Structure 1
Amino acid sequence: MKKITFVLVILISTITIFHACKSEKKGGAKNQEENVVIPEVKTNAVAGMQVTDISFPSSDGLMISAKMYMKDSAAPIVVMCHQAGFNKYEYAETAPKVVDLGYTCIAIDQRSGGDMNTYKNETYERAKEKKLPFEYIDAEQDIITAVNYAYAINNQPVILWGSSYAAGLALKTGATNERVRAIIAFSPGEYFKEKNYIGKSLSGFAKPVFLTSTEKESGGVAKLAEPIAEEYKTFYEPDGKGTHGSKALWSNDSAHEGYWNAVKEFLLKIK
């Protein structure tokens, strides 16, 4: 693989952020880890790549904030959706690496999320201001809208990437949406009030899907994905305990290389 042509200045924060995320049944979802060290990532220079702040209205009119990472306007697009309590900066390190593989990335702020150190979830803030609900299920419309927005850029089906609750919604959305051609799901699960909300949508699933999780979550993820034919599934189980969600790819995570090598191989295979 060619050398990654970007420069990242990474300041690993010494601040430990407490995420008390409860399940949606109790008013919000629960992360697998409660104490998360957030890396503050600043992209000073990325050769040949533009990083742009964008926004577009969700189906109910709420403006969705996002960052677009682009080298080639004709490149296939990956829509990236964060986990509970987080925002688009969950992908600040990862998106440039994906761009270097020949993709464009759009990392969104869903309305169900929160702040990461000094980085605000702007969509969540707007939802609160407008007194709109912001449970996990309320973010489904944001993900669908982001898919439609990305598809309209170059009229190509997108890859939909989700983390934790958003990984479940990515599977549900991607299962039947013709504008999604593949799914990447980090720690998907049934994080919703309605029983089997994700699983019941996966019958007849016929698209490439990358699945990963922590060691502890792997059995549940495998069960969730049972309706998907083996020929479409790529499953990565980490050595050791692993990390919940797409933050497994952060450079301050001891297992990040294994996760990255696995998802990189998948992205190159389906390109």
Structure 2
Amino acid sequence: MSNKWISGFVRGLSLALLLIPLAASAAGRSVTLTAKDGVTVYGTATSAVGHAGRLLLLFHQAGASRHEYDPLIATFTKLGYDTLAIDQRSGGSLFGGRNRTVVKLGHSASYLEALPDLEAALTWARARGYRTIVAVGSSYTSSLVLLLAARHPQAITAVASFSPGEYFADKNLVKQAAAKVTVPLYVTTDPAESERVDEVLRDAHGANITRYRPASGVHGASTLVCARDPDGCKANLASFEAFLRKVGDVPASAAGAR
């Protein structure tokens, strides 16, 4: 057996071993959280290559699960963000997969009842020492992340709110929370729903707000997914990536996957 063959075999084996953790990272790992009221919350944590202390907390829309964000995870991790996507207790099987939290609970709860699930995710993130934590909400959770930031102003670095509205019984709750948010805030929605955002931001002021008005969009974070928003996804994702680079101090050389 030649030295050349052995050398080639060793190089190939070394490369394969290096790729193992990357493959595992891309697949994500299961996480189980416990909300303050004792409800079990299931999620998936995915690490970026070369962990840089940045995290996106990904919260899904009504009738859905953590799988709403499956098409975007590779983009976010390539940009240098770890992700934690959870199944809130208000959700279902929209976008595929199943909502394990709802299955375990035995029913889908109300929107506002899901707030402790978001808080459990934030507690998980803080316990791991992330220096940048961005809370991302879609539809009803785009309103809940505003409540989360208002209640925990020192714990969150930035907020991204995709299609917020006064979705709860108290029709002033969300706009009052938005007015208290002092961290960088990214807000966008389908152009047809812009009046809802106007209402939510009615009392919000300051240079911390990035109001992105897309030429084409759909409801919630689906506006970033080309299979759901073929006309607007590229421009919308580029806008959101620019925000994430800024709040996460991401080097210009880092680029999201397309």
Question: TM-score, normalization: structure 2?
Answer: 0.81
Match of 1:103 among 42, 66, 81: 81
Give the superposition deviation at 1:203: 3.0
Question: Equivalent residue of 1:65, what SS?
Answer: strand
| Distance in structure 1 (CA, Å) of the matches to 2:234 and 2:81 | 20
Equivalent positions of 1:101-180 (< 5 A) are 101-116=79-94, 118-128=96-106, 134-156=109-131, 158-177=133-152, 178-180=154-156
| Distance in structure 2 (CA, Å) of the matches to 1:200 and 1:238 | 25
| 49-58 or 60-69, which deviates more | 49-58
One-letter identity of the residue aligned with 2:244: L
Map of 1:32 onto structure 2: none
Root-mean-square deviation (CA, aligned residues, Å) is: 1.9
* Contact 1:168–1:198 (8 Å) recurs in 2: yes
Deviation track 1:113-165 (CA, whole Å, cap 9, x = no partner) reads: 0013651100011111xx6x711011011011111111111253511000000
* Contact 1:175–1:207 (8 Å) recurs in 2: no
Distance 1:202 1:95, change over 3 A: same
| Distance in structure 2 (CA, Å) of the matches to 1:139 and 1:87 | 12
Match of 1:266 among 243, 247, 250: 243
Give the superposition deviation at 1:236: 1.2
> Structure 1 regions of 5+ residues with no counterpart?
1-44
Map of 1:37 onto structure 2: none
One-letter identity of the residue aligned with 1:212: T
Distance 1:50 1:223, change over 3 A: same
Give the superposition deviation at 1:48: 6.3
| Distance in structure 2 (CA, Å) of the matches to 1:204 and 1:82 | 23
Match of 1:251 among 220, 226, 241: 226
Distance 1:259 1:46, change over 3 A: farther
One-letter identity of the residue aligned with 2:115: E
Map of 1:196 onto structure 2: 172
| Distance in structure 1 (CA, Å) of the matches to 2:31 and 2:91 | 18
Distance 1:47 1:97, change over 3 A: farther
* Contact 1:204–1:227 (8 Å) recurs in 2: no
Q: Given the alignment of the two structures, is residue 226 of structure 1 paired with residue 216 of structure 2, yes or no? A: no
Question: TM-score, normalization: structure 1?
Answer: 0.77
| Distance in structure 1 (CA, Å) of the matches to 2:226 and 2:178 | 32
Give the superposition deviation at 1:73: 4.1
Equivalent positions of 1:6-155 (< 5 A) are 49=26, 51-71=28-48, 72-116=50-94, 118-128=96-106, 134-155=109-130
Question: Identity of paired residues, percent?
Answer: 28
Distance 1:118 1:187, change over 3 A: closer
* Contact 2:165–2:199 (8 Å) recurs in 1: no
Question: Equivalent residue of 2:31, what SS?
Answer: strand
Is the strand fraction higher in 1 or 2? 1
> Structure 2 regions of 5+ residues with no counterpart?
1-21, 249-258
How many aligned residue pairs are there? 223
Q: Which has the larger radius of gyration?
A: 2
Is the helix fraction higher in 1 or 2? 2
| Distance in structure 1 (CA, Å) of the matches to 2:52 and 2:124 | 15
Deviation track 1:62-82 (CA, whole Å, cap 9, x = no partner) reads: 111111110244421110000
* Contact 1:83–1:164 (8 Å) recurs in 2: yes
* Contact 2:62–2:140 (8 Å) recurs in 1: yes
